[in-house]
Structure 1
Amino acid sequence: MASQPTTNEPTTRRRQLLGRLSLPERTYVTDALRTETVGGILLLTAAVVALIWANVWPHAYESVLDYTIGPSGPLHLNLSLDAWAKDGLLTIFFFVAGIELKREFVAGELRSLSAAILPVIAAVCGVALPAILFAVTNSGSGGHPGGWAIPTATDIAFALGVLAVVGSHLPSALRAFLLTLAVVDDLIAILIIAIFYSSGIKFWALGLAFAGLVLFWFLHRRGVRGWYLFVPLALVVWALMHESGIHATVAGVAMGLMLRCHRVGDEKHSPGERIEHLVRPLSAGLAVPVFALFAAGVTISGPALREVFTQATPLGIIIGLLVGKTVGIFGGTWLTARFTRAELNPQLKWADMFAVSVLAGIGFTVSLLISELAFPGNQALADRAKAAVLVGSLLCALVATVLLKLRNRHYRELCEEEDRDLDGDGIPDVYQQDDPAWQARLTKSAERAADEHPGTGTNELR
């Protein structure tokens, strides 16, 4: 008689995509995104103010942008307010991005290959495909392929601001994916800026900036503290980097990466986490909105809007943001699941990932910066590129809002489940359901409540 196949052979458990975060990671993501959400609302407000200002009082807007301030001398820091916002304030933004990236590598989603593969592949695909679509769109005689990097960025603050304005809930797993994606995206963006948009390198200034970075790292590693020491050193490093011809924001991300982001001994927070907690509100609440105020002011008119959809450069930006980012991020995620035999969190659907991919097409802050860098001698083309960034980001926001609203009721239920804390100990119940002690406490609490409110069953209180 033929032998019967065995059914008790061990099976390999498939890895889950977008699963539940650990409690410490969830707490960090919640705190970080709370600040970014407020910053996103300020960013949206600043963009609207810039558009009104530039179109109602254009001469006043231009005169403010061109107003110069700062010391003259060998470092050439007598800059316009526009340049201070672009090269100075955004350095704070990239400093925070550097800390975020370092933390992700040592304690967050990027610390292991299995956890990092999804956001890294999604981010790389979300950068590559928009660049390819832009290059194809601008391959003709009237195109400007030098702006290929404009539609490659994701603006996490703008995206979260949109979520806050439209009142859309989003489960923590999707929010964490969006944050990690944006962190990797920021790293790619700073590499693109440093490699492709730097010119006229002055090696003496670059060497001194590097020496300053080494001193910054050495003092930090020796445990030296004191803002009165590190802030002046950071300013010197920034000024030297600015003079070297490398974009000054590279100094910010470099210093962020040098901070220690892992805890030692009985530390509650690492130095990087403490500094990020202090600087993030400055970045999200001041630096990025002020940059948007100076960068987003473009003239909006019928002919200008028509050029956005008819000329190769702005059209390539819109296609890159709306189609390239969406298909790149979603396709990279789906291929990762397909070839690693991973399965999506059963509480979510691929439609949710598609909606988040559309939301990630909002490329505001860094896209505006690259628009300035890509066309330094052609302000009219840079303005058309900025207008395309605004239109493309707005289209992504509108489409994402519709898609997310269709699932908002389900998202609200998931968020309520994630936040439920019936025993009031400050720890969400989903992290304690397998703990017998927690189950006993909850049962006693429910029985006591049932005694106090006759007619209410224990199961109802649960």
Structure 2
Amino acid sequence: MSPPATILGRTADSLRSDSVGGLLLIAAAAAAIIWANSPFAASYEALRGFTVGPAALHLDLDLQTWAADGLLAVFFFIVGNELKQEFVHGELRDPRRAMLPIVAAVCGMAVPALVYAAITLGDPASAGGWGIPMATDIAFALAVLAVVGKGLPPALRTFLLTLAIVDDLGAVTVIAVFYTEHISFGPLLGAAAGLALFGYLQQGRRPAALLGAARVPAWAVYVPLAAVVWTLMHESGVHATIAGVAIGLLMRTAARPGEAESPSHRVEHLLRPWSAGLALPVFAFFAAGVAFEGLGAVLTDRAGLGIVAGLVGGKLLGILGGAWLTTKVTSATLNPSLSWWDIAGMSQLAGIGFTVSLLITELSFPDTPETLANAKAGVLLASLIASVLAAAVLTVRSRRYQREPRGSAG
């Protein structure tokens, strides 16, 4: 093997590590925050507001949107694909285990919204932002978990993945129902038809047969089909990253005779370095650049205070309390390799709002610039506090697992 190939191979292998990808993501976010709060902030805003793409397809989008809707769809594909593997072959095959993160996610959306509503009660200017603290930023949460949780049981990551996917689907539904003026059902039905075709090809006929050819590579069918599904989903008004999740969940996870590995594992191995090394850092760079004007303005503004309380306290109470209560009133069980302290740390990690929270913030306060600025700063502050608290708890738990035999999760 030539030296360049060796270097590329080693780089790709390192990017398949969650910790390396997590560090890149956090570094990109830090660079964006520094730039957005520097004397050169105007150039940062000009960069992420730069528009590119075909207007005829309604895809003349700014770079920030391309990163959040386009590049992030690659990451969500990997997440959906990984969840499919867990549902078919792994931890989530047992409905009693799968029920717990799903119920926890629902409680983790409802309680923060209620906390926000209680704090902003009687303030009409802030009332519309109840959806902001509902969201969990899966990319940032997984990045922090990868950096601080090297000794933690794999089941905790699976719990967080499942919870965050349900959370994202819930947040997108909230946006569609309460914060979107119009959804185009024609493109949405077209996207659904494309997904049905994708699933049929995965489980049924080979892609080459679709074109009446014997030697057409599979990617020549799947990549254009995925691009069409993404475009239609974007055109419908639904957050386009849902296309990535849906396609990932449709991947075939079992190898057929003559295949060395399943399409699910093969494509994940190929795309994971691109997701960790390009998609996530670029997304973080364009999403995290929030101007921060100080604690005073945020904590005296009811919207900002409601967001901080909802993300930091509401997420912890909703997820941890919801999961614990579920085990008491149903047959759902916590994985025996985990303890409730692990779930507490992960619940705090779910308080990282960022992307979807910032999106809902823009939709909540389009006509009140001061409230909008304080709400954005509240999302940033809450995400920072949640990260620090989660890192403290999970670092302690990780060290304990590294000292003790696996299975002693107390």
Counterpart CA distance in 1 for 2:367 and 2:222 is: 36
> Does 353-362 or 316-325 show the bigger shift?
353-362
Letter in 2 for 1:298: V
Aligned residues: 385
Partner amino acid, structure 1, of 2:263: P
Report which of the two structures shows the higher radius of gyration computed on alpha carbons: 1
Under a length normalisation based on structure 2, what TM-score does the superposition of the two structures give?
0.81
Shift of 1:390: 1.8
1:222 equivalent in structure 2 = 205
Give 1:86's aligned residue: 68
Equivalents in 2 of 1:324, 1:183: separation in Å?
A: 18
Q: What is the one-letter code of the residue matched to 1:259?
A: M
- Displacement after TM superposition at 1:410 (Å): 1.8
1:290 is aligned to 2:275: no
Select which of 352, 359, 365 maps to 2:349. Answer: 359
Change (3 A) 1:264 1:136: farther
AA at the equivalent of 1:114: R
Partners of 2:67 and 2:335 lie apart in 1 by: 41
Q: Does 2:30 align with 1:48?
A: yes
Contact 1:70–1:78, Cα closer than 8 Å, also in 2: yes
Q: 1:213 to 1:352 in 2, by over 3 A?
A: closer
CA deviation vs aligned residue, 1:137-191 (integer Å, no higher than 9, x gap): 2332244343323222333443343355557632334343333333333343344
Q: CA deviation at 1:257?
A: 2.7
Alignment gaps of 5+ in structure 2: 1-12, 208-216
Alignment of 1:320-335 (within 5 A): 320-335=310-325
C-alpha distance 243-273 of structure 1, shift in aligned 2 (>3 A) = same
Q: Distance in 1 between matches of 2:160 and 2:145?
A: 12
2-side partners of 1:127 and 1:33: how far apart? Answer: 32
Q: 1:138 aligns with which of 117, 120, 138?
A: 120
Q: 1:307 aligns with which of 297, 300, 303?
A: 297
Contact 1:101 1:257 in 2 (8 A): yes
Q: CA RMSD in A?
A: 3.2
Cα drift, residue 89 of structure 1:
2.0
Distance (Å, rounded) in 2 between the aligned partners of 1:393 and 1:52: 16
SS of residue matched to 1:110: helix
% of aligned pairs identical?
Answer: 55
- In structure 2, the CA distance between the partners of 1:239 and 1:337, relative to structure 1 (3 Å rule), is closer
Amino acid at match of 2:296: R
Larger displacement relative to structure 2 (393-402 or 92-101): 92-101
Cα gap change, 1:240 to 1:165, in 2 (>3 Å): closer
- Partners of 1:105 and 1:167 lie apart in 2 by 23
Distance 1:321 1:90 in 2: 22
| Aligned counterpart for 1:233 among listed residues 225, 234, 250 | 225
Alpha-carbon offset, residue 197 of structure 1: 4.1
Q: Give yes or no for contact 1:139–1:145 (8 Å, CA) kept in 2.
A: yes
Displacement of 1:315 in angstroms is: 1.4
Question: Does the C-alpha gap of structure 1 residues 214 and 408 become closer, same or farther in structure 2, counting only changes over 3 Å?
Answer: closer
Query: What whole-Å deviation, never above 9, does each CA across 1:90-111 have from its counterpart, x for those lacking one?
Result: 2223323332343333233332
Alignment deviations for residues 12-38 of structure 1 (CA, whole Å, 9 cap, x no partner):
xxxxxxxxxxxxxxxxxxx99964333
2:53 to 70, 76, 81: 70
Deviation at 1:334, TM superposition (A): 1.7
Q: CA deviation at 1:52?
A: 1.1
Q: 1:190 to 1:288 in 2, by over 3 A?
A: farther
- Give me the whole-angstrom Cα distance separating, in 2, the residues matched to 1:223 and 1:187: 30
1:154 partner SS: coil
Contact 1:126–1:325 (CA<8 Å) still a contact in 2? yes
Deviations 1:329-356 (A, max 9, x none): 1112221332347886777653343233
Tell me the distance in 2 between the aligned counterparts of 1:155 and 1:82.
Answer: 16
Q: Give the Cα separation in 2 of the matches to 1:83 and 1:343.
A: 40
Q: Quick check: 1:388 aligned with 2:378?
A: yes
| Greater mean deviation of Cα atoms: 320-329 or 249-258 | 249-258
Pair 1:256 & 2:248 matched: yes
Greater shift in the superposed pair: 269-278 or 63-72: 269-278
State the shift of 1:394 in Å. Answer: 1.2
Greater relative CO (CA pairs within 8 A, separation 6+): 2
